[in-house]
């Protein structure tokens, strides 16, 4: 318990500690002492990091939705490299499941299930099958997601609205509902929900996608608090990345914030799971979005982030994956 507290402390983002330090500590002497403490924590970090690397995925049964493409596929590979006992892939794309299994079976035990997670009944049925065939899921990563078109909301259609909400927002809840009661009963397990920075900042031409990720963040973080109130050891991690170069958002142009690379992004997500992080924005600066929204007048926020940084135009040339 005490060791976990030390781990949590040393894994805290030190940039944030420095900001707090210089904002709140006025006395120069105290400032010096605090700076030394932060530096000591920084020096201690690698020791505890090493320990973290070994624990979470070793001998775990890991279920990843959308695990046959993009970051889901890479997370599956990394989970096996870290010693996962079994990787279970849920995906709608049968061909990609087969190629992923062919690649990953060299590293460890991997099985795939073709499933459309927007069909709740099929999800319940498929999980029952998985539970019988593979045993308890220790780590669930809700990663499957979709985005449609680059049109303003008035040009959306009912089918794409329903599909986006079903796959990105409702399905993660239904899937979590299958694994969570057993995790709570066993007092162990981890659910990681891949949301998006679009769930923190409003953005034109992706309103429905933003709504689905906004829903995921609200739900995921609420469950985290419920588990904390229950004093459960089951962990929830919510991830909110900026655009990642996987193909899902092909055509997007981002001038100031670089589009993220899949491999380093996955490393950050996996590390967040290993460290029991509750919420992770990638890059780190995205943690401050809500802060800026809170302190700036809306017109200033819209002008600066929307027009100067260019966030409100990133979707203008979006094509999405062609096949
Ligand atoms: N790529 C980005 O720029 C970006 C940025 C932030 C967040 N995200 C989120 O990260 C997650 C993974 O994105 P990615 O870039 O790896 O995308 P991707 O398109 O490469 O992978 C998504 C996977 O989900 C699967 N899938 C889609 N609908 C499904 C359904 N109904 N049932 C089962 N599987 C289904 C697809 O077949 C695919 O394998 C998504 O939730 C996405 O919203 C992506």
Q: Could you read off the pLDDT of 294-303 as tens digits, one per residue?
A: 999 999 999 9
What value does the mean pLDDT take over residues 59-65? 98
Q: Does residue 323 fall inside a structural domain?
A: no
Q: Structure pTM?
A: 0.87
pLDDT score of 45: 67
Task: Provide the domain count of the chain.
Answer: 2
Distance of CA 107 to the CA centre of its chain: 24
Give Dmax (Cα) for the chain.
63
pLDDT score of 52: 47
Same domain, 21 and 82: no
Structure confidence at residue 14 as a pLDDT band (50, 70, 90): low
Residues with CB under 6 A from ligand 1: 65-66, 68-72, 91-93, 96, 115-118, 143-146, 167, 194, 196, 241, 243-244, 246-249
Exposed/middle/buried for residue 43 (C-beta within 10 Å: 0-12, 13-18, 19+): exposed
Residues contacting residue 312 through CB under 8 Å, at least 6 positions apart: 203, 204, 302, 305, 306
Q: Which atom belonging to ligand 1 lies closest to the Cα atom of 246?
A: 15
Residues contacting residue 108 through CB under 8 Å, at least 6 positions apart: 80, 81, 83, 84, 85, 86, 87
Structure confidence at residue 7 as a pLDDT band (50, 70, 90): low
What value does the mean pLDDT take over residues 85-92? 98
Same domain, 90 and 108: yes
Q: Does residue 212 fall inside a structural domain?
A: yes
**How far does the centroid of ligand 1 lie from the alpha carbon of residue 143, in Å?**
6
Same domain, 25 and 93: no
Question: Residue 77 is part of a domain; what is its CATH number?
Answer: 3.40.50.720
pLDDT score of 303: 96
Same domain, 216 and 297: yes
Same domain, 301 and 197: yes
CB 174 within 8 A of CB 220: no
Same domain, 258 and 277: yes
Q: Which atom belonging to ligand 1 lies closest to the Cα atom of 147?
A: 43
At 319 the three-state DSSP class reads coil
> Has 209 been annotated as catalytic?
yes
Q: Which atom belonging to ligand 1 lies closest to the Cα atom of 241?
A: 6
Same domain, 177 and 307: yes
pLDDT digits (tens, 9 = 90+) for 136-190: 999 999 999 999 988 999 999 999 999 999 999 999 999 999 999 999 999 999 9
Bridge partners of 289? none
Same domain, 186 and 158: yes
User: Residue 166 belongs to what domain range?
Assistant: 56-313
Residues contacting residue 212 through CB under 8 Å, at least 6 positions apart: 145, 164, 165, 167, 168, 169
SS (H, E, C) 257-314: CCCECHHHHHHHHHHHHHCCCCEEEECHHHHHHHHHHHHCCHHHHHHHHHHHCCHHHC
Same domain, 104 and 229: yes
Q: Does residue 103 fall inside a structural domain?
A: yes
pLDDT digits (tens, 9 = 90+) for 196-241: 999 999 999 999 999 999 999 999 999 999 999 999 999 999 999 9
Whether the predicted pLDDT of 50 surpasses 70: no
Residue nearest to atom 1 of ligand 1 (CA): 244
Same domain, 21 and 92: no
């Amino acid at each position: 318990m005490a060791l976990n507290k030390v781990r949590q402390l040393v894994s805290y983002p030190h940039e944030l500690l420095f900001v707090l330090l210089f904002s709140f500590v006025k006395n120069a002497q105290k400032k010096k002492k605090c700076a030394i403490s932060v530096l000591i924590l920084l020096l201690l970090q690698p020791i505890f990091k090493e320990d973290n690397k070994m624990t979470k995925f070793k001998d775990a049964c890991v279920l990843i939705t959308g695990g046959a493409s993009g970051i889901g596929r890479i997370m599956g590979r990394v989970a096996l490299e870290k010693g996962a006992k079994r990787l279970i892939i849920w995906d709608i794309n049968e061909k990609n499941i087969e190629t992923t299994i062919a690649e990953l079976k060299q590293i460890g035990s991997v099985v795939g299930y073709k499933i459309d997670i927007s069909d709740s009944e099929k999800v319940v049925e498929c999980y029952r099958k998985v539970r019988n065939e593979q045993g308890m899921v220790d780590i669930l990563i809700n990663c499957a997601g979709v985005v449609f078109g680059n049109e303003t909301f008035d040009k959306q259609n009912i089918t794409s609205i329903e599909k986006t909400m079903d796959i990105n927002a409702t399905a993660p809840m239904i899937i979590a509902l299958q694994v969570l009661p057993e995790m709570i009963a066993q007092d162990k397990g981890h659910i990681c929900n891949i949301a998006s920075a679009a769930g923190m900042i409003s953005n034109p031409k992706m309103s429905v996608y933003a709504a689905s990720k906004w829903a995921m963040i609200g739900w995921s973080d609420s469950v985290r608090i419920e588990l904390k109130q229950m004093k459960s050891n089951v962990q929830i991690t919510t991830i909110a990345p900026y655009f990642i170069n996987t193909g899902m958002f092909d055509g997007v142009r981002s001038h100031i914030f670089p589009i993220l690379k899949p491999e380093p992004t996955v490393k950050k997500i996996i590390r967040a799971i290993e460290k029991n992080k509750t919420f992770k924005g990638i890059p780190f600066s995205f943690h401050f979005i809500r802060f800026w929204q809170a302190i700036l007048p809306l017109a200033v926020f819209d002008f600066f982030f929307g027009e100067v940084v260019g966030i409100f135009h990133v979707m203008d040339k979006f094509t999405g994956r062609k096949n």
